Structure 1
Amino acid sequence: MKHKKSIASQLVLIVVALVLLNVLSERFFFRLDFTEDKIYTLSNATKDILESLDEPVTVTAYFTKGSQPEIEKARNDFKDLLIEYSSLSGGMVNYEFIDPAKDQAIEQEAMQSGIQPLILNIREKDQVKQQKVFLGAKIQMGEQTDIIPVIQPGTAMEYALSSSIKKLSVIDKPMVGFIQGQGEPGISSYQQAMQQLQVLYNMQPVNLTDTINNLSAFKTLAIVAPADSFSDAQLRKLDDYLANGGNLFIAYSNVEGDFQTMRGTVVNSNLAGWLAEKGLAVENNFVIDKSAGTVGVRQQAGAMTFTRQIPFYYWPMVKEFPVEFPITKGLEQVTLQFASSINFTGDTTLRFTPFLQSSKKSGTLSTPTYFNIQKQWGDNDFPLSNLTIGAVLDGAIVGDAVS
């Protein structure tokens, strides 16, 4: 079982890392083709990046030669990739390979750049020896530099290299603000998402009580898992932001679960009321789904204690997506921890598009509720289907501007 605080961090990991990246970065590849027959085919996004380069890029690859076959294969694959990058970019991508083992000064240069060696255990004639191996790269464009500390084999090579080049080539990055002050997790709580988003965006925490913040400077504002209510003045600021054509990403559920008390309750926030004014009714219920994530339960068998994974039906696992939509493009599945159903109550001037729905065997439970791990669930517990648990609302939500 996990503490309540870990629930919020996992919610952030799932919702932000898997959904927010697609919301904000739909024009950049965050999903690569891992199928066997296309493993060496560059994505269209990579081709667009290379064909639009206005300034030369220099890639300095630090690889240790004469090491293990896997390292040699990674070196050869990376070289083949760079050859193709150079060709598609019309010679704008230049590269060189350096073996740090040949020169102590070069080894120090690589390490000072942020490329640290890997220590491999090599078995030779029934003895285990340690070998220091470099397999990283430095990417330069003008005076800007980015580092790939370790080059992973396979399609991860393209992802890392294209991300690095894109990061250096974007000049004016739009601003994305993460609202803080109502119990939301700090930006440091989802570093994985931040690392990916910084390729195309500048991220900044935003406190709505701060009078110096100019919200119009932000392309998108994100509200992630608020635990407390907003003041009337803060909600008016959000209304003004939407009225001026701003975009809001909200990761919010009206319910929360506490594994210490094994109870589920309503979140004490007025955000649901504010959303209801916009035509989004976030219900005070738990969506349960036969397609669900799992939790570990400790069990005793004689003198032995072990952990068994069991389905936890309060965590809907979405495997099928209702529409072809940028938010869910490339996702295989999304697990939401303690989700509420969403209903649209607005008029035809707004467009409501569900992008996350429960399975054909799902249901709802009212609050408060008790999480009975020992309960024997049956099909009668899941009488509903296709409940909306994630949606996009666009149109003139506030005023005449389209958000």
Structure 2
Amino acid sequence: MELKAKKLLTKREYHLYSLAWLIILLGWLGVLNYLSNKFFLRLDLTSNKAYTLSKATKQVLKELKSPVLIRAYFSSNLPAVLKSDLSLTKDLLNEYQVYGRGKIKLEVVDPEKNPKLKDELSSRGIFPVQFQVRGASELAVKEGYMALEVQYLDQRQVFSNIVDLQDFEYALSSTILKLSSEPPISVAFLSGHEEPDAYQDLNTLRSAIEKQYQFSVVNTTAGEPIPEDINLLLVISPKHLGEQDKYELDQFLMRGGKIIFLLDGAEVVQEYLVAFPKDDGLDDLLGHYGITRNHDLVMDVINERVSMRQGIFQIIKNYPLWVKIYVSQYKEAGLIKDHPFLSQLDAITLP
């Protein structure tokens, strides 16, 4: 009887130990699951970090409140070179999906397998791209899809040819940020005072802004207030602002708006390379906010060489007023950080 009781006790202990280990195991799994959600890590072992998303992109994905649908329309009949590029793009899109943590939905569609889809894509502004295919005895021109459609709630944006994008991650992340901003961020240029034209002189800047924000042009010359839905106003090199214009700028700031002033302290006559102090009427307004602007010229020993005429001779000499910045040297010295905007620049001249 004592032996049976002892065996029964041992069996009971075995079951208790098993149950305890099971509870411990489930507890550890719960802890690991919590840590994996809180501290997420992926390793990119490629030499150039081809699949590593930037911190800015990860932050954009982290702050998404609703799902983003990314549809990639890639044809199967593309040349090998383009297929290789699109394969890298797919890998990067997968990274977006992973770091989106359920907020990025990815669909890859081959329009060649669905002729009816092509008509629908045309109505949405998505068209095939032409490319050349070299055969044994001829050079043929064919068409295929290399497009991307990004949709957030009822908003959408299309990239008809993603291979031509210089910085795919920047373009896609900027689009996601633009579509998901609630309410959308609105940026405007001040006009009506002989500022550079937003659609001609500042076309590159305007295009870059439109990729990420809503854009408009506002005019205060008639005394109308700056619209309340404007978040940021750029005042770029106006000829002269009157008292009413400055009043509207001040009221805009008082309502919580933000202004970036990009002003010229001097007016340069390009034909003769002569400069005069520029009076745009903004010194008193800036002084009211504690900003003092000097109407000075900057010179530097590192400068651009210019061609000048002296009598009948044409000479080339250093011109200290045209400061030259060698981007690579500043990067090596740690004075500026790597940025997609600077990746293709070797030097910048500031005339």
Q: TM-score, normalised by structure 2?
A: 0.68
The 1:295/1:71 distance shift into structure 2, 3 A limit, reads farther
Deviation track 1:134-172 (CA, whole Å, cap 9, x = no partner) reads 211112223222111211389823222222222221120
Structure 1: stretches of 5+ with no match in the other structure: 1-34, 299-308, 339-403
CA distance in 2, matches of 1:310, 1:99: 59
One-letter code aligned to 1:111: S
Rounded Cα–Cα distance in structure 2 between residues aligned with 1:159 and 1:84: 14
Q: Classify 1:243/1:53 alpha carbon distance in 2 versus 1 (closer, same or farther; 3 Å).
A: closer
**Partner residue in 2 for 1:291:** 302
RMSD over equivalenced CA pairs, Å: 3.8
Alpha carbons of structure 1 residues 150 and 310: separation in structure 2 relative to 1, 3 Å: farther
Displacement of 1:230 in angstroms is 1.2
Report how far residue 249 of structure 1 moved. Answer: 0.9
CA 1:216 to 1:160, structure 2 compared with 1: closer, same or farther past 3 Å? closer
Aligned equivalent of 2:209: 197
Q: Percent identity?
A: 24
The answer to whether the 8 Å contact 2:67/2:105 transfers is yes
Contact 1:148 1:160 in 2 (8 A): no
* Shift in Å, 1:250: 1.3
Kept in 2: contact 1:39–1:155 (CA 8 A): no
Matching residue's letter, 2:111: P
Aligned pair 1:221/2:221, yes or no? Answer: no
Q: Distance in 1 between matches of 2:340 and 2:131?
A: 34
The one-letter code sitting in structure 1 at the alignment partner of 2:86 is R
Instruction: Name the counterpart of 1:317.
Output: 324
CA distance in 1, matches of 2:250, 2:67: 44
Where do 1:4-403 residues align within 5 Å? 37-152=48-163, 156-189=167-200, 190-198=202-210, 200-214=212-226, 217-226=229-238, 228-243=239-254, 245-267=256-278, 269-272=280-283, 274-275=285-286, 280-292=291-303, 313-318=320-325, 319=327, 320=330, 332=342, 335=348, 337-338=350-351
Larger RCO of the pair (alpha carbons < 8 Å, separation 6+) = 1
Distance 1:249 1:216, change over 3 A: same
Highest Rg: 1 or 2? 2
What secondary structure does 1:286 align onto? Answer: coil
TM-superposed deviation, 1:180: 1.0
SS in 1 for 2:78: coil
Matched residue of 1:107: which SS? helix
Query: For residues 93 and 242 of structure 1, do their structure 2 counterparts lie closer, same or farther at Cα, with a shift above 3 Å needed?
Result: closer
Q: Using the TM superposition, give the Cα deviation of residue 288 of structure 1 relative to its aligned residue in structure 2, in angstroms.
A: 3.1
Deviation at 1:133, TM superposition (A): 2.6
Distance 1:279 1:85, change over 3 A: closer
Per-residue CA deviation, residues 271-311 of structure 1 (Å, 9 max, x unaligned), is 3465456554444443233434577899xxxxxxxxxx986
Say which SS state the counterpart of residue 38 (structure 1) adopts.
coil
Output the amino acid matched with 1:129: A
- Alignment CA distance shift 1:252-1:59 (3 Å): same
How high is the TM-score relative to the length of structure 1?
A: 0.60
Structure 1's 244 and 64: CA in aligned 2 closer, same or farther, altered over 3 A?
Answer: closer
Contact 1:40 1:155 in 2 (8 A): no
Give the letter for the 1:167 counterpart. Answer: K
Question: Does the residue aligned with 2:193 lie in a helix, a strand or coil?
Answer: coil
1:293-347 per-position Cα deviation (integer Å, ceiling 9, x unaligned): 577899xxxxxxxxxx986643323444999899x97764784644xxxxxxxxx
> 1:166, 1:199 within 8 Å by CA — same for their partners in 2?
no
